[in-house]
Amino acid sequence: MRAWPLILVSICVLPFIVRPAIAAEIWIFAIFGLGLNLLLGYTGLLSFGQSTFFGSAAYVAGYLLKHYAIGVFPALGIGIAVGGLSALLVGYLCVQRSGLYFIMLTFALNQLFYFIAYQWTSVTGGEDGMPGVPRPAFLGVDFRDPMAYYLFVSALFALSLWLMQRIVQSPLGKILQGIRENEVRAEAVGYHAPRFKLLAFVIGGAFSGLAGVLYAMLFGIVPLEAISFVTSGNVVFATLIGGSGSLYGPIIGSFVFIWLSESMSVVWARWPLLLGVAFIIVVLFFRGGVVEAWNRIWRFSRQRA
């Protein structure tokens, strides 16, 4: 793919433009977005509850990292498993319904998880969050060094992107898009739509789980916000701005979203206003997000030339 060189260059350059911690957050949020977009862009399911999987994984893996001193890779494995399992549970209930009811179910179950985290203060710390999540060293590499951790996150992001690329080009990718295009027809040719939607949920949940654990280790804390609907909304927001019709849309969206929130929030407390404007522009003029805007500009300039 022609996008890969660009992505590798971005990975190399980014930590010298913004702080490594923010650069790492961009790639983590991109992993989160990749998982969502399998549902949103490829299957046509708007899930407003992705932070359920992100947050659950962050809490469980964070707790084990903090109290049982597990290694980095076991923590990631557990996070992926928790993300996938919670998505299996939530997805099983949600795929029974479609349209607005589906969206409301993802949202309602997200709230359920949120209030469990909010109330269960002995484990999650409630509103204060769960601080003290360590970044254990692996084979002598000290991940407390921001640059080392950044490279680690980047490598996992690249791996996630490669995996997602394989998934969307596999038969499963086509089946999910078929369900998005015409669910009745997909059933008639022999695909049980709820089963495949659930599979998309679990895969998306596993990606969210990975992102959740990386996030907890990045900031050393699992804030309550990690499992709130705000986080669920943010990832939908970022993905739509980037362009849900493309594999790379969520990556661009993550870039715009994190960069805006980190650079603008120190300058101007009302920065979400900018996001709102960006979102309105996307919805009104560029339904395919930044990716479509870019394609149109490119085509326009070619026609002129």
Partner 1 sequence: MAILETESLTKSFGALTAVSAVRLRVEAGTLHSIIGPNGAGKTTLFNLLTGTFPPTSGRILFDGKDITGTPAHRIAHLGLARSFQRTNVFPAFSLLDNVWLAAFACSKSWRGLLWRRAERYLEPTERARAALADVGLAAKADQPAREISHGEQRQLELAIALAAAPRVLLLDEPAAGLSPEETRKMVALVRALKGRYTIVLIEHKMDIIMNVSDRISVMHFGSLIAEGTPQEIQRNPEVRRAYLGGVAA
- Per CB under 8 A, residues contacting partner 1 are 166-167, 169-175, 177-178, 181-182, 184-193, 203
Closest to partner 1 by CB, 100 vs 189, is 189
In whole angstroms, the minimum distance from the beta carbon of 42 to partner 1 comes to 12
CB 56 within 8 A of CB 210: no
Closest to partner 1 by CB, 94 vs 203, is 203
Closest to partner 1 by CB, 140 vs 190, is 190
In whole angstroms, the minimum distance from the beta carbon of 77 to partner 1 comes to 18
In whole angstroms, the minimum distance from the beta carbon of 181 to partner 1 comes to 4
Closest to partner 1 by CB, 83 vs 223, is 83
In whole angstroms, the minimum distance from the beta carbon of 1 to partner 1 comes to 13
Closest to partner 1 by CB, 170 vs 263, is 170
In whole angstroms, the minimum distance from the beta carbon of 3 to partner 1 comes to 17
In whole angstroms, the minimum distance from the beta carbon of 186 to partner 1 comes to 7
Closest to partner 1 by CB, 62 vs 209, is 209
